Every structure is written in structure tokens, then in C-alpha cells.
Amino acid sequence: MNDKQLRSRPIVALVGRPNVGKSTLFNRIVGRRLAVVHDRPGTTRDRLHAPAEWNDVPFTVVDTGGIEVLPETVVAGRRPGPERVLAQDSAPYIPLMRAQAELAIQEADAVIFLTDVISGLTAGDEEVAEILRRARCPVFLAANKADNSRLRQTALEFYALGLGEVYPISALHGIGVADLLDDVVRALPPSKPEAEDERVKLAIVGRPNVGKSSLLNRLLGEERAIVSPIPGTTRDAIDTYLEWEDTPITLIDTAGIRRRGKIERGVERYSVLRALRAIQRADVALLMIDGVEGVTAQDAHVAGLILDEWASVVVLVNKWDAVEKDAHTMVEYTQWVREALRFLDYVPVLFISALTGQRVNKVIPTALAVRAARQRRIPTGELNRLVRDALARHAPPSKRGRRLKIYYASQPGVDPPTFVFHVNDPDLVHFSYERYLENRLREAYEFPGTPLRLVFRRRSRRSSADGR
């Protein structure tokens, strides 16, 4: 399966009120401890997603944690009636649980709705269930913490939510998780690329109100070459076709995310589902940030999605016309953006104004150059000459008296460019030397905006016999 297919996996979102075990189930599904788990509600503070596989079905699991306690003035905006008494820790979270459930419905291919058998059925569960009943994707109700037969019997009360079968599980001990996942993966769509075409797909991503819609309108208005707006594969998104100097392009618009009154901060956190889907589909992500407000935590969240997906990217600093600046501002701002978003020098940073059109004409040509770099292939002979020169200039450091040896290198794939180094022991590769090799590749060949995947593999006996 190539990288484009891997980035087209179905999404399974974990939804539920705080402290029901979403992060524990996330770790159980992916097979390693990635999410922070704590008894305190709301421990998961950041976006978290990872590839997973069950019964040979690959998918992406998303832990939709990150709910923060809201001020009482926000909670007062929606109080349940006296007939719906809230659990002690549920009231502050209701607005964000609703937003979380709504976005999961829109963007996920399946939702696992987690409840807590020990706490029992709460008004918070009912709020989420009310939204999930309207879901267009399959919903699986998992009653967690059912560690014994008595608690598994107690789980039957969750049938009152009207979401179909209840799966009593223990995410901590793995009880019942296999049966749950068996049914989840059977309900997922095939993990394959969406309808392939020759168009270059550019996704406009970023937090709300950074100017995504303005950029889309400016690009389309200047070129006046729209073929037609069509419904996108991503739910509630719009794909727009345009021709740019005889190059067919699909613009994937993710501008449908909107702030929701006083709960905007929480909703922004859950926008990662939509951003993830757009990044998975795209050849290049156009990451927009607000030049006036600067880089925010949510910008870093979306940048993290891009890095995790090995996606190519162009950073667009919008509203540059409104920024006070001098001769040094652009250079200093560029350095700040790259450091804050964890991007190195390989990522192009454009300073634009979607409002006035300043430098907007550079956006698509830069994105096309990045996409071309993603397809670049280096001949094996040239690659190995580069590696030999890099070894001569800077020998690998030793580790416990042993030194890394690189016998030869190859590039078996593109999208992104992937380089395999056959070595004596992969454990001897220090991250600083891996970075050194990547820098040498970038010095010799242009890979703007595109990550390079370096794989270090122990040389096989067959290769040794061949004299390599």
C-alpha cells in the first residue's frame, strides 16, 4: 500500500464525556501508549490520532479528548431541566461534548461512543447520544470499565440511549474490545484512494477566521476558470475545480468550520478531524495562519497533523497588509513561524493578503513546485555518490565502541521521497546524523515543502553475498 493509500484510511473517532476511558481505549487499539491517561477528567489536552489495524483492515483512530472546563457563564447558556440531573463532573462539559459529537459525525467513518458503567447513565451521555442518533456513520456504544460480570450486567442500562447494541468492555484489561473492533471494521468503507484523477489536490487548512474562504474566493476570482463546484468526498466540504495555466487543480475548502459563541476554543480543537481528512486527501496542504495574531496553539495542532501524515506543505501568513513591519520583519517572522510550527528551512513561507491580493499569485505556482518535488526521484548512482561524499565529510559517531556503517542507499518510492540506507546496525543511527544526511540530500536536490523519509535497514545476508 503506497503513502497516498495510507493517508486515505477510514477514520474511527472516540467520543464521550470526560474520564470514561477514551485515551485508554485509544492506547489499546493502537497497541502502544500514546495518549496520556490520568484519573482526572480532561487529561487529554491535545489532538491525537494514529494508524491502527484490526483483522487486516487499516484505519485511523482519533482520540477526541481535549475538553476543558468552561466558566460558569458559559455553562449557564444551556442548563438541563430538573428531570435530567447531571452527574457532578458532567455539567461544565456539555457544550463541548455536543460540539465534539457533531464534528465526529461530520468527519468520521465510524464513531465509538464511550460511557462509564461505574458512573452509570448520566445526562452528559444523553446529550451526546442525542447528537449521535442523527449520525450518517455507524455508531458503536461501548460501556467501559465493565471489569466483571456484575458490571457487565449493569451495562444493559445503556440500551435506554436507543443507539442499538451495547458493547460491555474494559479498555484497561482488553475485555470485550475484540468483539467491538470486529464489528467496527466490518462497517468501515474500503481503505483505498478516493476516486483518483489527474488533478493536483490542494487543501486550504487552518483554524477558523484566518482567511481560508477569502483566499479561495481570491484564487477563483482572479483566474475566472472554475469548471464547477462539486460535493467533496469529505462530508460538508466543497471541492472546486479550476485550471491554472493548463494545470487542472482541485481546491479542497475546509472553511466550513465556524466558531460557536463562547465555546469557540473547544470547537477549534475538534476541527482537527476536518483538517485531518483534508490533509489525507491533498497533494499539498496550504496552511494558513493569521499574520496579525501570529502563531497560536491551534496552528501548531494543524501543523502537527501535517507532520504526522508526511504531507507536503506551504505556509501562508495571511493579512500581511495589516502587519506593522520594517525591513527585517519578514525574515524574523519567517524564523518565528518555522520554529513555532516545528518546520525546518524546507518549508516555503509566503506572506500574502487574501483581501488585497498581495502575493496571492504566488500561492499556486509555489504549491505546484512543492508537489513536483514530492515526486522527485534520485538515480541510485547519484544517490550513493552523495552518501559516500557525506560519509567522507562527516563520519558517523561511534556508540559504545561501535561505528555506523552505511553500505549503500536506494530510493524505492516517492510521495513522499523515501530513502533506504542499508547499514550494519540501525540502532547505531543517531537522530543528529539522520538529520545531517537529510540536510545533505536537500543541499544537493531541491525538495521544497516536502518531508523526506529516511529508513535505516540492516543489510541482508543476500546483499552481503552480492558484494554490496
Return the C-alpha cell found at 322.
495589516
Could you tell me if residue 190 is left (phi over 0), alpha (psi between -120 and 50 degrees) or otherwise beta?
beta
More confident residue, 224 or 416: 416
pLDDT of res. 95: 64
Distances (CA, A) of 214 to 112, 191, 207, 366: 36, 33, 14, 19
Of 420, 386, 423, 385, whose CA–CA distance to 402 is shortest? 423
Taking the CA atoms of residue 225, residue 288, residue 50 and residue 441 in that order, the dihedral angle to the nearest 10 degrees is 90
Separation CA 285–CA 234 (nearest Å): 15
Are the beta carbons of 47 and 297 closer than 8 angstroms?
no
Average pLDDT over residues 86-109: 62
pLDDT of res. 117: 95
- Residue 193, class by beta-carbon neighbours within 10 Å (0-12 exposed, 13-18 middle, 19+ buried)? middle
Q: Decide if 3-186 and 380-465 have a common fold.
A: no
Separation CA 299–CA 301 (nearest Å): 5
Separation CA 51–CA 276 (nearest Å): 12
- Please tell me whether residue 421 adopts helix, strand or coil conformation: strand
pLDDT of res. 63: 77
Domain ranges of the chain: 3-186, 200-374, 380-465
Q: Which of 93-97, 256-260, 363-367, 426-430 has the lowest mean pLDDT?
A: 256-260
Pick the CATH number of 380-465 from 3.30.300.20, 2.130.10.10, 3.30.2010.10, 3.20.20.105: 3.30.300.20
The DSSP letter of residue 95 is: H
Of 115, 114, 104, 16, whose CA–CA distance to 60 is shortest? 104
Residue 399: phi and psi, rounded to 5, are -135, 115
Of 349, 352, 338, 422, whose CA–CA distance to 384 is shortest? 422
Q: What is the mean pLDDT of the chain?
A: 79
Are the beta carbons of 11 and 109 closer than 8 angstroms?
yes
Of 180, 255, 247, 257, whose CA–CA distance to 213 is shortest? 255
SS3 of 135-183:
CCCCEEEEEECCCCHHHHHHHHHHHHHCCCCEEECECCCCECHHHHHHH
CATH superfamily of 3-186: P-loop containing nucleotide triphosphate hydrolases (3.40.50.300)
Res. 261: pLDDT tops 70: no
pLDDT of res. 208: 77
* Range picked from 37-51, 78-92, 273-287 for highest mean pLDDT: 273-287
Pick the CATH number of 200-374 from 3.40.50.1860, 3.40.50.1820, 3.40.50.300, 3.30.360.10: 3.40.50.300
Res. 85: pLDDT tops 60: no
Res. 428: pLDDT tops 60: yes
Q: Which of 60-64, 238-242, 358-362, 442-446 has the lowest mean pLDDT?
A: 238-242
Are the beta carbons of 370 and 312 closer than 8 angstroms?
yes
**Banded pLDDT at 99 (limits 50, 70, 90):** low
Separation CA 421–CA 404 (nearest Å): 11
pLDDT of res. 439: 93
Distances (CA, A) of 123 to 24, 176, 263, 457: 23, 25, 19, 53
> Positive or negative, the Cα torsion across 100, 102, 107, 109?
positive
Res. 139: pLDDT tops 80: yes
Res. 214: pLDDT tops 90: no
Return the C-alpha cell found at 111.
464513531
The structure's pTM equals 0.67
Separation CA 142–CA 154 (nearest Å): 13
Are the beta carbons of 207 and 304 closer than 8 angstroms?
no
Taking the CA atoms of residue 397, residue 402, residue 406 and residue 412 in that order, the dihedral angle to the nearest 10 degrees is -100
**Banded pLDDT at 210 (limits 50, 70, 90):** confident
Separation CA 235–CA 238 (nearest Å): 8
Q: What is the pLDDT of residues 364-377, one digit of tens each?
A: 999 999 999 999 99
Residues 6+ apart with CB under 8 A from 123: 80, 84, 85, 86, 87, 90, 94
Separation CA 289–CA 171 (nearest Å): 38
Q: Which of 43-47, 90-94, 110-114, 137-141 has the lowest mean pLDDT?
A: 43-47
Res. 331: pLDDT tops 50: yes
Separation CA 306–CA 312 (nearest Å): 7
Residues 6+ apart with CB under 8 A from 418: 411, 412, 452, 453, 455
**Banded pLDDT at 356 (limits 50, 70, 90):** very high
Separation CA 6–CA 3 (nearest Å): 5
pLDDT of res. 104: 67
Separation CA 279–CA 257 (nearest Å): 15
pLDDT of res. 267: 44
Q: Which residues pair with 61 in a beta bridge?
A: 12, 50
